[in-house]
Chains A and B, each alone.
Chain A
Amino acid sequence: MVSINGKTGGPIVRGAIDATGMPALVLFASMVGYGSMAREAGLTLWTAVASTGLTWGLPGQIAMVELYALGAPVLAIIAASSAANARFLPMVLSVMPLFNEALPRKRWRYAVAQFMSLNPWAAIMRRGPGMNPADRPPYYAGFAGVCITAALLGTGAGFVLAGAMSRNVTLTLVFLNPVFFTLVFADARGRAAILAVLAGVVAGPLFHLLSPDWGLLLTGATAGTGAYLFDRALRGRHG
């Protein structure tokens, strides 16, 4: 991620600059893949773009589009889409302490929650603690604003380009997403975070085999809690 360490621009500009580059590019490309999938599934241009803006969580959007294409009942589509995005509960929960002081009004925290996604989350978890609390909301707004703009443009572009791209190109664009985030999390700092990432990498597929519906929640509950307890035990030993 590009970062400006000097005083150029306020925190909102710094957030926007940090997001411009790899995060925005990867997001744009992933959403091109999603836009083309959405068109094949029978969505319209505006419902595809609206789903990116409203759901704002790719796994839940993919679940929605795939089940819609299969003609599944409405309730089943909504439940599957929501379950695929359950990670937002611990994600938002874990960043809230960084925002509570600067945002005494709850309505702003609810706005922060809507714009949360992997990129701004990883950025604020890493940079937020070292930042002046008052700078965190504008930094986040700049970062998330660039991300959502790139994603909306990508969804529209993917919808329009669907059919013009070969299957291999779409496949490569979709693959970009897990590769990028693998590296973002390979770069996690701090012993507790590294332990949690390693435990999650192993537990994620295993629990998915056990239960595709609840696998992710089980992964968070067991691997996350286990990593936390292990880290706490190590902290106790070294003072």
Chain B
Amino acid sequence: MADGIDWRLWGIVLLCGAATYVWRALAVAIGGRVSPESEAFKLFACIAYAMVAGLISRMVILPEGILAEAPLSYRLIGVGVAVGVFFVLKRNLAAGVLAGVAVFALLIAFAGSPM
């Protein structure tokens, strides 16, 4: 933008930040007096775990954007290798991530480029 600040773009960025903050603030307002031992806490935790796990599995199986350029089989193989290595090496996070991503990178590089 050679001719100054793009106010429309800045407005979108600020409003998107605010629109996500609405969820966060709502949670603080609702969750004021819940004890960690309560049943409500256990329920919220289950909902959060399910939503986050659902989001990640959706990103792998039905991705939007650039990830959709890689075939489903490559994505599943990458995640499968990561999980396998992770558990075989006694829950080694770094080894699992590296193995899964390396296999995925090799697949898209040599087994047929997604582009």
Contact = CB atoms under 8 A, between A and B. Distances in A.
A and B bind:
yes
Contacts of A179: 78-79, 82, 96-97, 100-101, 104
A183 B46 contact: no
B14 A54 contact: yes
Interface string B33-57: 1111011011111111111111111
B24 A114 contact: yes
Interface stretch (A4-12, A78-86, A145-153, A156-164): A78-86
Contact of A185 (B39, B49, B62, B65): B49
A88 B24 contact: yes
Contact of B93 (A1, A43, A97, A98): A1
A13 interface: no
Interface in B37-94: 38-39, 41-62, 64-67, 69-70, 75, 78-79, 82-83, 86-87, 91, 93-94
Given A82-B23, A89-B27, A125 B93 contact: no
B12 A178 contact: no
Contacts of A82: 16, 19-20, 22-23
A87 B48 contact: yes
B108 A168 contact: yes
Main secondary structure of the interface of B (DSSP, over half): helix
Contacts of B24: 88-89, 92, 110, 113-114, 116
Contact of A93 (B12, B27, B70): B27
Main secondary structure of the interface of A (DSSP, over half): helix
Contacts of B64: 62, 66
26 contacts: A43-B13, A44-B1, A50-B13, A50-B14, A55-B16, A60-B19, A68-B9, A78-B16, A88-B27, A96-B31, A97-B34, A97-B38, A98-B36, A100-B31, A110-B28, A179-B104, A180-B97, A185-B49, A185-B53, A193-B45, A198-B53, A205-B57, A219-B54, A220-B48, A220-B50, A224-B43
Interface of A: 1, 21-22, 26, 33, 37, 42-44, 47, 50-51, 53-57, 59-62, 64, 66, 68, 74, 77-79, 81-82, 85-94, 96-98, 100, 106, 109-110, 112-114, 116, 118, 121, 125, 129, 167-168, 170-172, 174-188, 192-193, 195-205, 207-209, 215-217, 219-221, 223-225, 227-228, 231-232
A-B interface, 8 closest residue pairs, ranked by CB to CB distance from nearest? A204-B54, A54-B17, A224-B47, A200-B53, A92-B27, A96-B31, A200-B50, A220-B51
